[in-house]
């Protein structure tokens, strides 16, 4: 379920950086109050309703701090969870548990919120031949976690950055002096650099779409903030020549209407920027 773009190295670097930020010169409270060889069992308590995400990451966090940590997973990534359920149990060195607690919870809450919202988007269009995509509207430095959560929730990842897909947007078109100039320069650049990247071109109206149809040579046309009746017409104009994508103002409440226009893709920044964290806690079990 983890996207192939996410490497073990990237995950490990995140864990090290996250722990360094939180622990700093030392978890002085735990160092002062907990014997070094003490071991405890803790449970992840779900205090909300949604889709759980980040279990695999939490396991890596605890095993980074204590290689002998043992997890019993009751609800793997992608599971529907209810208030009061237990996500997993972890037995480990007590200091390690307490040091990793906040990093694990913070990432799981954020990822689970995104996975939950993504699952709802996916459900809304589940019977339609359309794919819901995320965007680059993510939190800096944890984009990989947020896109991971989107996949867990049942939607798909769009480009991971400026490097793996060319997206000619309105600013590029205006700065380049028009759609034709922008597309032709994109092709020339790819040829010069030996690249073979997909090319999306954003159009703002049917006039720009007609110009793009004359230019051609792209992978996908993105209809930005099109009203539904105009979007129907735009899809008909393209008539399968390019992939089609609706974008701009897509929410859980209107995604189905956009999908019903016949577009191949719907991209929604809301998947990541509007998701609310799922509440959960990690509690040591006494006795």
Say which CATH number the domain at 254 has: 3.20.20.70
Query: Which stretches of 169-283 are DSSP H helices?
Result: 170-176, 179-193, 206-215, 228-238, 255-259, 270-273
1 lies in a domain?
no
pLDDT per residue over 272-285, tens digit each?
999 999 999 999 99
Q: Going by DSSP bridges, is the β-strand pair 50-51/80-81 parallel, antiparallel, or unpaired?
A: antiparallel
Does 228 share its domain with 244? yes
Both 77 and 145 in a single domain? no
Q: Confirm whether 79 is domain-assigned.
A: yes
Over residues 131-135, mean pLDDT: 98
Q: Is residue 229 part of a domain?
A: yes
pTM above threshold 0.75: yes
Q: Per the structure, how many domains does the chain have?
A: 2
Q: Note whether 133 and 148 are same-domain residues.
A: yes
Provide the annotated active-site residues. 102, 137, 169, 202, 224
Q: Which residues lie across from 61 on neighbouring strands?
A: none
Q: Which domain holds residue 14?
A: 8-122+275-285
Residue 1 has pLDDT above 80, yes or no: no
Does residue 131 sit in the same domain as residue 256? Answer: yes
Q: What's 83's domain CATH number?
A: 3.90.1170.20
The C-alpha angle with vertex 13 and arms to 11 and 14, in degrees rounded to 5, equals: 65
Residue 230 has pLDDT above 90, yes or no: yes
pLDDT tops 80 at residue 287: no
Distance CA 166, CA 175 (A): 16
**Domain annotation covers residue 257:** yes
Distance (Å, whole) CA 40 – CA 286: 8
What pLDDT was estimated at residue 286? 87
């Amino acid at each position: 379920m983890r996207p192939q773009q996410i490497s073990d190295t990237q995950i490990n670097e995140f864990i090290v950086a996250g722990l360094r930020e939180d622990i700093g010169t030392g978890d002085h409270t735990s160092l002062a109050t907990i014997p070094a060889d003490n071991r405890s069992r803790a449970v992840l308590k779900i205090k909300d309703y949604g889709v759980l995400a980040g279990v695999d990451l939490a396991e890596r966090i605890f095993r980074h701090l204590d290689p002998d940590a043992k997890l019993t997973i009751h609800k793997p990534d992608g599971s529907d969870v209810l208030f009061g359920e237990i996500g997993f149990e972890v037995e480990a060195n007590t200091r390690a548990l307490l040091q990793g607690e906040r990093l694990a919870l913070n990432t799981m809450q954020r990822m689970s919120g995104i996975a939950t919202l993504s699952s709802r988007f996916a459900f809304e269009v589940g019977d339609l031949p359309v794919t819901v995509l995320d965007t680059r509207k993510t939190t800096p430095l944890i984009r990989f976690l947020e896109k991971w959560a989107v996949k867990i929730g049942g939607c798909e990842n769009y480009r991971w950055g400026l490097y793996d897909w060319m997206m000619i947007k309105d600013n590029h078109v205006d700065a380049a002096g028009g759609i034709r100039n922008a597309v032709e320069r994109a092709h020339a650049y790819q040829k010069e650099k030996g690249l073979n990247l997909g090319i999306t071109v954003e159009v703002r109206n049917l006039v720009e779409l007609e110009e793009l149809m004359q230019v051609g040579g792209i992978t996908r046309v993105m209809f930005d903030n099109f009203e539904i009746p105009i979007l129907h017409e735009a899809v008909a104009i393209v008539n399968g020549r390019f992939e089609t994508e609706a974008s701009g103002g897509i929410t859980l409440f209107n995604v189905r209407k956009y999908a019903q226009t016949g577009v191949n893709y719907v991209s929604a920044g809301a998947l990541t920027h509007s998701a609310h964290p799922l509440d959960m806690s990690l509690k040591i079990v006494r006795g």
